[in-house]
């Protein structure tokens, strides 16, 4: 496990104090890479005050304008989700998820996304993730402060590092780097256009086709070579469709 390869990404955080609280929670557990997607107020004195002795985490924070920018170079992305979605996604608790993240971090860039204080991550943002993480809470009161949620996830990672007993996984022995989120997004755009070209996907009534395909490929995790093969197949498919249409005319 390499904690330096794991980043915490906060999306549209509304209160600067929460950013400071997250920085403190991260430093407590040995994490230092903080990304902020369009924070409402940052930098801010309230963030500095709440961070206490974790000012270096705030100083090193990377501010981006989109989630895609914050995770573009990542191969493994986890999104925190407090509720079930229309299409079920692989969902793990923090302990299970920490094991997956810790293993991936040995050779890959890993991101954990935390959404807005009042409504979490959007469906479109969760579609960018390989896994969804849910903190099991009492049904009578399920609300978690943002810094508390980050602390729970970071604690589980810290415990794994302390135990140093991670099993060697198939992913660690893989012969080619896994595809980055940036390259996967290009693939999904290419895939959708090809499905439209072959008239398998109707843009006027897409239903949940692309969401289900995202879930499929997110679960499988393509490496860069496999992704290039898939892109090549899509390109040749589009060429055949174009030739067929010209011949029909």
CATH number at residue 237: 1.10.8.590
Model confidence over 5-43: pLDDT tens digits? 999 999 999 999 999 999 999 999 999 999 999 999 999
Rounded Cα–Cα distance for residues 101 and 103 (Å): 5
Residues 87 and 37 in one domain: yes
Q: Two tokens at 133?
A: 């993480």
Q: Looking at residue 42, which CATH number applies to its domain?
A: 3.40.1280.10
pLDDT reported for residue 86: 61
Number of domains in the chain: 2
Give the list of residues 6+ apart from residue 148 with CB closer than 8 angstroms, or none: 25
Residues 116 and 50 in one domain: yes
Model confidence over 116-171: pLDDT tens digits? 998 889 989 999 999 999 998 888 888 889 999 999 999 999 999 888 655 556 66
Question: Which of 171, 190, 218 corresponds to the end of one domain?
Answer: 171
pTM above 0.75, yes or no: yes
Whether 197 contacts 239, CB under 8 Å: no
CA 12, 150, 161, 137 torsion-angle sign? negative
Residues 84 and 55 in one domain: yes
Question: Which of 171, 196, 215 corresponds to the end of one domain?
Answer: 171
Residues 109 and 19 in one domain: yes
Q: Two tokens at 216?
A: 């499929």
Rounded Cα–Cα distance for residues 91 and 111 (Å): 16
pLDDT reported for residue 142: 80
Q: Two tokens at 194?
A: 């090809």
**Distances in whole angstroms, Cα of residue 195 to Cα of each of 116, 209, 220:** 34, 10, 20
Structural domain that includes position 18: 3-171
């Amino acid at each position: 496990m390499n904690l330096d390869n794991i980043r915490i990404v906060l999306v549209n955080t509304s209160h600067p104090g929460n950013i400071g609280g997250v920085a403190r929670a991260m430093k407590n557990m040995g994490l230092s890479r903080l990304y902020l997607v369009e924070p409402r107020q940052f930098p801010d004195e309230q963030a500095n005050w709440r961070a206490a002795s974790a000012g270096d985490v705030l100083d090193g924070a990377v501010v981006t304008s989109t989630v895609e920018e914050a995770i573009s170079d990542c191969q493994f992305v986890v999104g925190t989700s407090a509720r079930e979605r229309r299409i079920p996604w692989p969902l793990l608790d923090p302990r299970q998820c920490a094991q997956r993240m810790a293993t991936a971090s040995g050779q890959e860039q890993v991101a954990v996304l935390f959404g807005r204080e009042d409504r979490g991550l959007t469906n479109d943002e969760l579609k960018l993730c390989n896994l969804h993480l849910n903190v099991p809470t009492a049904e009578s009161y399920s609300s978690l402060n943002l810094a508390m949620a980050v602390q729970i996830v970071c604690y589980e990672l810290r415990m794994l590092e302390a135990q140093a007993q991670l099993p060697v996984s198939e992913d660690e022995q893989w012969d080619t780097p896994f595809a980055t989120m940036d390259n996967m997004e290009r693939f999904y755009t290419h895939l959708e256009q090809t499905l439209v070209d072959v008239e398998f996907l109707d843009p006027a009534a897409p239903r949940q086709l692309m969401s289900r395909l995202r879930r499929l490929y997110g679960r499988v995790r393509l490496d860069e070579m496999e992704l290039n093969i898939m892109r090549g197949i899509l390109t040749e498919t589009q060429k055949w469709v174009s030739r067929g249409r010209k011949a029909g005319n």
